[in-house]
Amino acid sequence: MNATTIQFGQLPALQLRAPDGAEATITLYGAHLVSWKPATTTGAPGPERLFLSSLSALDGKRAIRGGVPVIFPQFAERGSGTRHGFARTATWRVRDSGERDGAAFAVLALAPADLAPDAAAAWPHPFELQLRVAVQGACLWMTLDVRNTGTAAFPFAAALHTYHLVEDVEAVRIDGVQRETLAIVDKLDQVFEGVPGAIVFDNGADRLQLEQAGFADAVVWNPGAADAAALADMEDEEYRRFVCIEPALLGPQVLEPGGSWRGEYKVGPASAV
């Protein structure tokens, strides 16, 4: 089967498996990609590519720490609403799933009727979100669509807050966000506006290429030792095992009535993307 309903912690989830063995797991809570395993030459899933904190809540009461949270309609505290928005803590609906051209995929949707009353009241704009996740071979594709279904314009920001699993964050090197290669030697929380092309990410073991469209910006984040120790949902030393490199639209962008926006994201081997 290309999509199987499973439990991930206490959360309903979809597990995707492509014919070549590539796998992904997406919880309905937050439409949150919590696992991605590229295919191997044996037809079995390979090593995990996404970091997930060992202390993360998996009960639907708090946002998941790790994987790929969907950020909408605001980034961090850049707005008057909930930090990073409500999309990552809402329960999405499965709209479609299956196989297409050898890739396993799932499409999840979110609208105001799916929100808790307090979230709907805090951001009273008619909208629809749709997230498509697909895996095949050594590649991951994610597409986020935002549609204004109301009669008034609204501003929004969006991001796919990807936690890349690494062996040691100090070995990470990132090209494509600034003129020189970026290394992480301590706490880092930096926005790069107007990213011109692909980002190449050396995780110390191999190189990945991150391509984005629609998402004009990128954010690179690692909490470092001091901030990680202050996070209740992360072990003190876990900061060494990930770096967040996230495609983002920080604008914010104004979406007119009936208008739509699409952000696309592709991750794969630097030699093959």
Active-site positions read: 161, 246
Residue 23 region by backbone torsions, left for phi larger than 0, else alpha for psi between -120 and 50, else beta: beta
Q: Where are the alpha helices (DSSP H) in the chain?
A: 117-122, 224-229
Using a 10 angstrom Cβ sphere, with 0-12 exposed, 13-18 middle and 19 or more buried, the burial of residue 165 is middle
Rounded to whole angstroms, how far apart are CA atoms 128 and 113? 10
Question: Looking at residue 254, what DSSP letter applies?
Answer: E
In 3D space, the residue among 95, 194, 104 whose CA is nearest the CA of residue 145 turns out to be: 95
Neighbours of 56 (CB within 10 A): 19
Asked if omega into 247 is within 30° of 0 (cis), the reply is no
- Which residue do the tokens 């980002």 mark? 199
